[in-house]
């Protein structure tokens, strides 16, 4: 009888181990959300950066290292955005960790031709190109494929689940993109100003024209002379909307509002949650906000 019980307990433990969820860490919530969609019940995800944080500058904390020390997969943004993640990964000392660079397999926008002192004088320019690619649904579909491949390599038994969820993600995204393009078609203008160059992939995907940035150069606060130039740009291009990331100062946008009546949408480039619906819901929130101020 004892022998039978031992066998049953061993079988139960083996079964539990076989279906243990993949623990997936991500630098930003968007990658974590897409991972949740693709992984379904076979994964658990968490993000290091929050939607209210500037993803360029994240403080490396010991608590992050502890969490990543227990993870199976780490999803990096890549393209030099989350170099801080390397310190977390190294500090985690997790030999089993699979690090996946999600910034591959798609055309990179704003890739500079030069990487010398000239480039250094252009502000916080990323030498491999603009890294805010997740705001393009087309690129997100490629990222989802990258994540599905990583999950299949780490958990071959879940391959059919990952493949089915990838197809579902792409189908839902295609349907929503058609709806969003209908909203864009009804807007009075597609000329916008953004605070930072976070929205170039979004603009490229949906036909918006970013006519200027609040920052004169990436990472450089606006000067009085630059704000004067923006007043002229707003008038010339009949700009109705400024998109401002929540982690930047309100001073310049508020000044432009007072002087021109332009409206500000304060919106993070990243979704707020890591659950499966967060990524697509966040894009919907962006279009709802654009429609509301038009």
For residue 178, the model assigns a pLDDT of: 97
Q: Which residues are paired to 243 by β-bridges?
A: 194, 265
> Of the CATH numbers 3.40.640.10, 3.30.420.10, 3.30.70.600, 3.40.50.1980, which one belongs to the domain with range 187-293?
3.40.50.1980
Average pLDDT over residues 100-129: 75
pLDDT of amino acid 19: 62
Q: How far apart are CA 81 and CA 48, in angstroms?
A: 13
What average pLDDT does this structure show over 109-130?
A: 67
Task: Tell me the domain boundaries of the chain.
Answer: 21-178, 187-293
Query: Fold match between 21-178 and 187-293?
Result: yes
User: Could you tell me the fold of the domain covering 21-178?
Assistant: Rossmann fold (3.40.50)
Task: Kindly tell me if the per-residue pLDDT of 122 is higher than 50.
Answer: no
Three-class secondary structure of residue 44 per DSSP: strand
- Strand-pair category, 209-213 with 241-244: unpaired
Q: CB-side exposure of 18: number of CA atoms within 13 Å?
A: 7
β-pair type (209-213, 191-194): parallel
Using pLDDT thresholds of 50, 70 and 90, give the confidence band for residue 9: very low
Spatial distance between the Cα atoms of 92 and 75, rounded to a whole number of angstroms = 14
């Amino acid at each position: 009888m004892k022998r039978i019980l031992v066998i049953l307990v061993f079988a139960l433990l083996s079964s539990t181990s076989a279906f243990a969820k993949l623990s997936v860490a991500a630098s930003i919530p968007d990658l974590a959300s897409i991972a949740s969609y693709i992984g379904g019940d076979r994964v658990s995800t968490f993000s290091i950066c929050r939607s209210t944080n500037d993803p360029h500058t994240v403080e490396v904390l010991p608590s992050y290292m502890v969490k990543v020390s227990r993870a199976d997969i780490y999803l990096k943004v890549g393209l030099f955005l989350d170099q801080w993640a390397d310190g977390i990964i190294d500090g985690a000392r997790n030999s089993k960790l699979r690090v996946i660079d999600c910034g591959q397999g798609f055309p990179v926008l704003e890739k500079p031709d030069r990487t010398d002192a000239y480039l250094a004088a252009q502000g916080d320019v990323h030498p491999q190109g603009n890294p805010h690619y997740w705001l393009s649904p087309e690129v997100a579909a490629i990222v989802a494929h990258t994540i599905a491949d990583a999950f299949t390599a780490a958990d071959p038994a879940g391959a059919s689940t990952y493949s089915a969820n990838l197809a579902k993600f792409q189908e839902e995204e295609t349907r929503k993109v058609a709806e969003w393009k209908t909203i864009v078609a009804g807007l009075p203008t597609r000329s916008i100003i953004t605070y930072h160059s976070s929205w170039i992939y979004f603009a490229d995907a949906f036909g918006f024209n970013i006519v200027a940035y609040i920052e004169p150069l990436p990472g450089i606060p606006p000067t009085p002379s630059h704000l004067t130039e923006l007043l002229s740009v707003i008038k010339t291009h009949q700009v109705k909307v400024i998109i401002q990331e929540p982690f930047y100062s309100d001073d310049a946008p508020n000044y432009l509002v007072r002087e021109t009546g332009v409206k500000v949408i304060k919106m993070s480039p990243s979704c707020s949650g890591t659950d499966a619906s967060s990524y697509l819901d966040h894009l919907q929130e962006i279009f709802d906000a654009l429609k509301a101020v038009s």
